[in-house]
């Protein structure tokens, strides 16, 4: 059959990225407690297109991903992108997979269990001789304002916050390890199921552990550095303020998000 995509294009305009976006697909990822976890991801896959090609072969992105969706791991994600790059005869392939990650979490007093959902993502680039790969994790938390507690004779305002950690792959780590680090730095973690005795515990715990967004990103940064060397990582915290008509925000990063050799 005629391969229209391979026809010559005379406009002399190379394209940085072409491909498929917002593909919904079941995936299997690593799980610290159970070995693996089945979830559903939103997938973006791209490759560069030289100036002389009219178009890319969209089906090849899906063909390659379909060979790997049952094993979407941090170490193997770039292997999948290399297969995309070769299949598309491209210099660079790009991939992004976003998925909810579920953990069973027990309430702090009653022990009642519920499933917590955390937003996670893998973002990678694979060139002929170099690669980049970043893991992202968003953790919802409770924060209580130190200033409000200090100046108020009764109570203190608190709110839900979000901490987003991104790490360029260095030492192996579990998603659960990062979640634990973030929740330990917050006034309190969140729970899906709380009985009255749990609610009292969480409320009092948050009151005893007030933190600004600045405290959050600094404490998480220190704990991540204790895990080992990462070429680059970032931590951002955002509070959905309960008494202000704005959000509070802080951000820190370490290292340089550089290409690494794929040799």
- Taking the C-alpha atoms of residue 94 and residue 240, their distance in angstroms, rounded to an integer, is 32
Q: Going along the chain, which residue ranges are E strands?
A: 15-31, 35-49, 92-106, 113-127, 130-144, 158-168, 188-189, 232-239, 248-255, 260-261
pLDDT at 54: 57
Note the pTM of the prediction, 2 decimals.
0.91
- Taking the C-alpha atoms of residue 127 and residue 62, their distance in angstroms, rounded to an integer, is 19
Q: What mean pLDDT do residues 86-104 have?
A: 95
C-alpha 236: how far from chain center: 12
Report CA-CA distances (Å) from 173 to 29, 122, 188: 13, 14, 23
Domains for the chain: give ranges and CATH numbers.
4-261 (3.10.270.10)
DSSP string, 244-260: SSS-EEEEEEEE----E
Token representation of residue 92: 């660079």
Q: How confident is the model at residue 259 (pLDDT cuts 50, 70, 90)?
A: confident
Task: Say if CB 121 and CB 135 are below 8 A apart.
Answer: yes
The residue written with tokens 């704005």 in the block is 246
Structure-model confidence comparison of residues 261 and 121, the more confident one? 121
Q: Whole-angstrom distance between the N-terminal and C-terminal Cα of the chain?
A: 37
- Taking the C-alpha atoms of residue 245 and residue 241, their distance in angstroms, rounded to an integer, is 7
Task: Say if CB 38 and CB 25 are below 8 A apart.
Answer: no
Token representation of residue 95: 């991939």
Q: What mean pLDDT do residues 95-113 have?
A: 97
In the predicted structure, residue 61 carries a pLDDT above the cut 70: yes
Residue 129, class by beta-carbon neighbours within 10 Å (0-12 exposed, 13-18 middle, 19+ buried)?
A: exposed
**pLDDT per residue as tens digits for the range 151-178:** 999 989 999 999 999 999 888 899 999 9
Q: What mean pLDDT do residues 192-197 have?
A: 97
- Taking the C-alpha atoms of residue 23 and residue 42, their distance in angstroms, rounded to an integer, is 5
**pLDDT per residue as tens digits for the range 171-183:** 889 999 999 999 9
Q: Residue 114 region, left (φ>0) first, then alpha (ψ -120 to 50), else beta? A: beta
Q: How confident is the model at residue 2 (pLDDT cuts 50, 70, 90)?
A: very low
């Amino acid at each position: 059959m005629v391969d229209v995509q391979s026809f010559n294009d005379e406009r002399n305009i190379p394209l940085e990225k072409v491909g498929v976006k917002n593909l919904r697909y079941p995936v299997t990822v690593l799980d610290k407690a159970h070995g693996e976890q089945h979830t559903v991801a939103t997938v973006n896959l791209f490759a560069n297109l030289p100036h002389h090609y009219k178009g890319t072969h969209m089906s090849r992105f899906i063909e390659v991903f379909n060979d790997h969706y049952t094993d979407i791991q941090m170490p193997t994600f770039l292997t999948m992108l290399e297969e995309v790059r070769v299949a598309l005869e491209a210099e660079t392939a790009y991939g992004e997979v976003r998925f909810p990650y579920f953990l069973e979490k027990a309430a702090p007093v009653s022990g009642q269990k519920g499933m917590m959902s955390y937003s996670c993502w893998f973002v990678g680039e694979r060139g002929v001789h170099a690669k980049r790969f970043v893991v992202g994790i968003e953790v919802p938390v409770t924060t209580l304002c130190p200033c409000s507690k200090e100046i108020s004779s009764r109570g203190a305002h608190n709110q839900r916050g979000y901490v987003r950690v991104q790490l360029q792959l260095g030492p192996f780590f579990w998603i659960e390890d990062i979640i634990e680090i973030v929740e330990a730095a917050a006034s309190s973690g969140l729970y899906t199921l709380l009985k009255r005795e749990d609610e009292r515990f969480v409320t009092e715990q948050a009151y005893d552990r007030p933190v600004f967004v600045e405290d959050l990103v600094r404490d998480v940064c220190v704990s991540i550095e204790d895990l080992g060397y990462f070429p680059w990582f970032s931590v951002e915290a955002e509070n959905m303020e309960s008494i202000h008509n704005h959000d509070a925000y802080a951000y820190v990063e370490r290292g340089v998000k550089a290409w690494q050799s794929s040799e």
